[in-house]
Chain A
Amino acid sequence: MELQEEILSILSENARLTMEQISHIVNQPIDIVQETIDTLEKNQAIIAYQCVIDWKKIGKQRVRALIDVQVTPQQSYGFDVIAKRIAMYEEVVNVYLMSGAYDLSISLEVDSLEAVGRFVTEKLAPLDFVVNTRTHFILKKFKEANVLLDTEGPDNRLHIAP
């Protein structure tokens, strides 16, 4: 169990380390590490390996919006079915069931403000069970997936220090 946790913690910081590197870090043979990761993947403790991207750096504009959604559960289906229906849209990055005034919180990533508008008016609002929406645009990202953005200065330590 400890090894599983240690490996997950290492991968959560950097999923690009090689099996060999991870095996060095945890001090276990490569096949044990491979086996552990296989198990974690199989039981979906590891859901996916993704990359944290700052699109601005390659001159691409991406618009991220958070949308609060109020819904009315129908007789034949509850929040789960509704949430899964909304999650099917490819622009949707996250869907959460929330406590508070709104029922679902969605985040959306598209390439323009207009695209957000189109999504809300053409895809989200027409759904039978959607009662009300409230859209927030993200103006600037400071931290994404646990990584601070735009703060990485050069290593200003001396090259050699006793």
Chain B
Amino acid sequence: MDLESKLSPIVRDMAPSGIRRFFDLVTQIPDAISLGVGEPDFVTPYHIRKAVTESLEHGPTSYTSNQGLPELLTAISAYLEKQFHLKYRAETELITTFGGSEAIDLALRALICPGDEVLVVEPSYVSYEPCVVLAGGIPVPVATHASEGFKLRVEDLERRVTPKTKALIICFPNNPTGAIMTAEDYAPIVEFVKKHELIVISDEIYAELTYGGKKHVSIASFDGMKDHTILINGFSKSFAMTGWRIGYIAAPEVLWKGMLKIHQYTALCAPRMSQIAALEALQNGIQECNNMMQQYDRRRRFVVHSLTEMGLICMNPEGAFYAFPSIASTGLDAETFAEQLLLEEGVAVVPGGVFGPSGTEHIRCSYATSLERLGEAMKRMTRFVDRKREKNADDLLRLG
């Protein structure tokens, strides 16, 4: 029997993630310093782990309601209001999910009919496009530009919108660029969304990670935008809880109902233990979150300075934990740069093209790694960049 032919053509024809190939390469070099990791290097704060072990000792291990534990939903509602001035009703507008990833899938499957177009702002997290395709939609990439600090511009949206466009996926603070959107940056985007009656799927998983006194602004907080927004957030990045797989969705009731149907049939509920952890994080974890932020901020300044000093053009990231320098000046493309850097100096970074065509001249360096290791990585990278530049100059001379 030809098993290949049994696979859905959508799945069969889907290209494997570009990050996968690189992952396989890195695993062959066990001592590499990896700046390729998109998750905190901190372990989940102790009091959060403790809350879960205590809860396990006392017993409740059953399903929770589809949306999640009522006390957690209430805590999320209070948190969203306090931190981002968003008002969501715990009972009818929130769902806890298996991390932000399930939330993305729920949002897309609830909205998309075959042939619907979805604007995907890139460079971006690798799962948006495949999830649009799996939901039967057509992903339409919308570029952001290094020259604009990778902020989303309305002109780029206007060029790509059609009568078939139903939704827009954004992620700010952004993975991989570290760009954020201020209220001023958002103003024209908000007008655009209203004019075209779109739904924004806003992945705000890095909302707590902003620097230099800049607070995160949610697009849902603009007048009238709650009805246009499916907000996605979670605990992975801000509370160092990636392995717990716990996130949530906030949306107006009609959309909430639709997504809840899918969630109840495909996931039933988020893991109870992870919900307990999330509740503890919201109730007592903000201080720890701020301590981690202080460490990220130090590393951020160090890495950006070091990259700039080695002559790479690197925008100052205002959120998340990534620097996204251009490596064009070395004469290499990002794939080659990343591969040679790994093989010659044992430092792993992610070639920017993995995150979309606008990232092809960039590499993503995660600074969720100790200062000691970052120091060593920057030293090796400086050596590498100097060598490549010299070679590039020689090659140009020879050609000239």
Chain A residues within 8 Å of B, Cβ to Cβ: 10, 14, 17, 21, 23-27, 155, 157-162
A126 to B348 alpha-carbon distance, docked (Å): 62
CB-based nearest A residue for B299: A25
* Cβ–Cβ < 8 Å partners of B63 in chain A: none
* Min distance, Cβ A24 to any Cβ of chain B, angstroms: 4
CB-based nearest A residue for B176: A162
* Cβ–Cβ < 8 Å partners of B26 in chain A: 159-160
Counting chain B CB atoms within 10 Å of each CB, the highest count among A10, A157, A158, A159 belongs to A159
* Cβ–Cβ < 8 Å partners of A155 in chain B: 41
Q: Which of A17, A159, A162 contacts B371 (CB 8 A)?
A: A17
Question: Are A159 and B41 in contact (CB-based, < 8 A)?
Answer: no
Chain B residues within 8 Å of A, Cβ to Cβ: 17, 19, 22-23, 26-27, 32, 34, 36-39, 41, 125-127, 175, 298-299, 301-302, 305-306, 348, 350, 354, 371-372, 375
A14 to B22 alpha-carbon distance, docked (Å): 33
Q: A24-B305, A25-B298, A160-B23 are in contact. List 12 more A-B contacts (CB 8 A).
A: A24-B301, A25-B302, A27-B301, A157-B37, A158-B37, A159-B34, A161-B39, A162-B17, A162-B19, A162-B38, A162-B126, A162-B354
A157 to B38 alpha-carbon distance, docked (Å): 9
Question: Are B301 and A26 in contact (CB-based, < 8 A)?
Answer: yes
* Cβ–Cβ < 8 Å partners of B22 in chain A: 160
Question: Are B23 and A158 in contact (CB-based, < 8 A)?
Answer: yes
Question: Are B126 and A21 in contact (CB-based, < 8 A)?
Answer: no
**Chain A interface mostly:** loop
Counting chain B CB atoms within 10 Å of each CB, the highest count among A14, A25, A157, A160 belongs to A160
A25 to B378 alpha-carbon distance, docked (Å): 13
Question: Are A21 and B23 in contact (CB-based, < 8 A)?
Answer: no
* Cβ–Cβ < 8 Å partners of B298 in chain A: 10, 25-26
Question: Are B36 and A159 in contact (CB-based, < 8 A)?
Answer: yes
A123 to B355 alpha-carbon distance, docked (Å): 69
Q: Which of A26, A157, A160 contacts B41 (CB 8 A)?
A: A157
A127 to B275 alpha-carbon distance, docked (Å): 61
A161 to B36 alpha-carbon distance, docked (Å): 6
Provide 6 A-B residue pairs closer than 8 Å at the C-beta atoms, listed in order of the A residue: A25-B298, A158-B37, A159-B36, A160-B22, A160-B26, A161-B38
A155 to B39 alpha-carbon distance, docked (Å): 12
Question: Which 9 A-B pairs have CB atoms at the shortest separation, nearest pair first?
Answer: A24-B305, A160-B36, A159-B26, A160-B23, A24-B302, A161-B38, A162-B126, A25-B302, A25-B298
A93 to B12 alpha-carbon distance, docked (Å): 68
With A155-B41, A161-B37 known as contacts, the answer to whether A24 contacts B306 (CB < 8 A) is yes
Question: Are B375 and A21 in contact (CB-based, < 8 A)?
Answer: yes
Question: Are B34 and A160 in contact (CB-based, < 8 A)?
Answer: yes
* Cβ–Cβ < 8 Å partners of B302 in chain A: 21, 24-25
A160 to B35 alpha-carbon distance, docked (Å): 8
A155 to B42 alpha-carbon distance, docked (Å): 10
* Cβ–Cβ < 8 Å partners of B299 in chain A: 25
A161 to B22 alpha-carbon distance, docked (Å): 10
* Min distance, Cβ A30 to any Cβ of chain B, angstroms: 11
With A14-B372, A25-B371 known as contacts, the answer to whether A160 contacts B301 (CB < 8 A) is no
